[in-house]
Amino acid sequence: MSAYDKVTAARSTKKLTSVDYINALFGESFIELHGDRCYGDDKAVVAGVGMLNNIPVTVIGLEKGRNTFERMERNFGAAHPEGYRKALRLMKQAEKFHRPILTFVDTSGAFCGIGAEERGQGHSIATNLMEMMALKTPILSVFIGEGGSGGAIALAVADEVWMMENAVYSVISPEGCASILWKDSSKAPDAAECLKLTAKDLFDLGVIERILREPTADDHKMFESLKLLICRTFEKNLAIPGDELARIRYNRFRKIGKQD
């Protein structure tokens, strides 16, 4: 598969979304929580609490929607500032109760529009980056589809970042890159190659820890082993004192592009 094939696969509407993963992993135990307590409830972000085996977990996902109606309602997974602020509110709540945080990333990017700018899209992402870095509770991010730039990293300042084999994570969309580089967005497949955005590329660059085989909807065995893998990671990180965990998280990012 070429890099652009991966991009196409990551964008496929047939792909499982955050809600599918949450249902498969948490089942009946999931309770959705709403709102940022400032402005509103952004449906591009689905969030709540639930049990993963015997561990209480806060789970937050960027949700694209599973059919046309849902996709409209979810704004195709492009969150507004209130979405990122809802996520942060619930992450702070998780820290208070020393619950681990699981995030699912699937977005073409943070929404760009008048309202998003007026309500501080840049500020909301910046605040998440800063606060997540210091959270004294374990954070794990799983990329299940598209990881579009600032809108993706705003939920991915984590102890570990995992990616599905057909997920991508990039600083800019291949189309955007091609139109800057060659003034021709149809050269997106070439740009996708250059950007090094596949799970394999990112693993080689030391940006992610694990590549996962992608489950289908009825692949219960795969979901069981995914659940086990997540639980084991949480158990390991719950044993580390919060301050120490935040320091390790900072060093995880600190080493990327370190000059000395």
Partner 1 sequence: MDLFTFIKPKNELENSDDTDTKKPYVPDEMWEKCPECGTLLLTTDIEENLRVCSKCNHHFRLNARQRVDMIADKDTFVEMDKDFESANIIDFPFYDEKLEKSKKQSNEKESVICGTCKLGGIETVIVSMNSEFMMGSMGTVTGDKITRAFEYATEQRLPIIVFTVSGGARMQEGILSLMQMAKTSGAVKMHSDAGLLYITVLTDPTTGGVTASFAMEGDIILAEPKALIAFAGPRVIEQTIRQKLPKDFQTAEFLKQKGFVDKVVDRRYLKETLKHLLKIHNYGED
What residues make contact with partner 1 under the rule CB under 8 A? 110, 112-114, 116-123, 125-127, 129-131, 133-134, 149-150, 153-154, 157, 169-172, 177, 180-181, 194-197, 201-202, 205, 207, 249-250, 253-254, 256-259
Taking the complex as a whole, the smallest distance from the CB of residue 77 to partner 1 amounts, in Å, to 15
Question: Measured from the CB atom, is 14 or 258 closer to partner 1?
Answer: 258
Question: Measured from the CB atom, is 150 or 215 closer to partner 1?
Answer: 150
Taking the complex as a whole, the smallest distance from the CB of residue 26 to partner 1 amounts, in Å, to 27
Q: Can you tell me which residue has the tokens 């705003």?
A: 154
Question: Measured from the CB atom, is 97 or 250 closer to partner 1?
Answer: 250
Question: Measured from the CB atom, is 56 or 242 closer to partner 1?
Answer: 242
Q: Can you tell me which residue has the tokens 């060659």?
A: 182
Taking the complex as a whole, the smallest distance from the CB of residue 200 to partner 1 amounts, in Å, to 13
Q: 213, 222 in Cβ contact below 8 A?
A: yes
Question: Measured from the CB atom, is 23 or 179 closer to partner 1?
Answer: 179
Q: Closest Cα partner for 169 from 62, 21, 54?
A: 62
Taking the complex as a whole, the smallest distance from the CB of residue 221 to partner 1 amounts, in Å, to 31
Q: What is the 8-class DSSP label of residue 38?
A: S
Burial of 138 by CB count in 10 Å (0-12 exposed, 13-18 middle, 19+ buried)?
Answer: buried
The 3-state DSSP class for residue 257 equals: coil
Amino acid (one-letter) located at 136: K
Question: Measured from the CB atom, is 14 or 183 closer to partner 1?
Answer: 183
Q: 152, 132 in Cβ contact below 8 A?
A: no
Taking the complex as a whole, the smallest distance from the CB of residue 107 to partner 1 amounts, in Å, to 13
Q: What is the 8-class DSSP label of residue 97?
A: T
Cα–Cα dist 175/129, whole Å: 26
Taking the complex as a whole, the smallest distance from the CB of residue 23 to partner 1 amounts, in Å, to 29
Amino acid (one-letter) located at 117: E
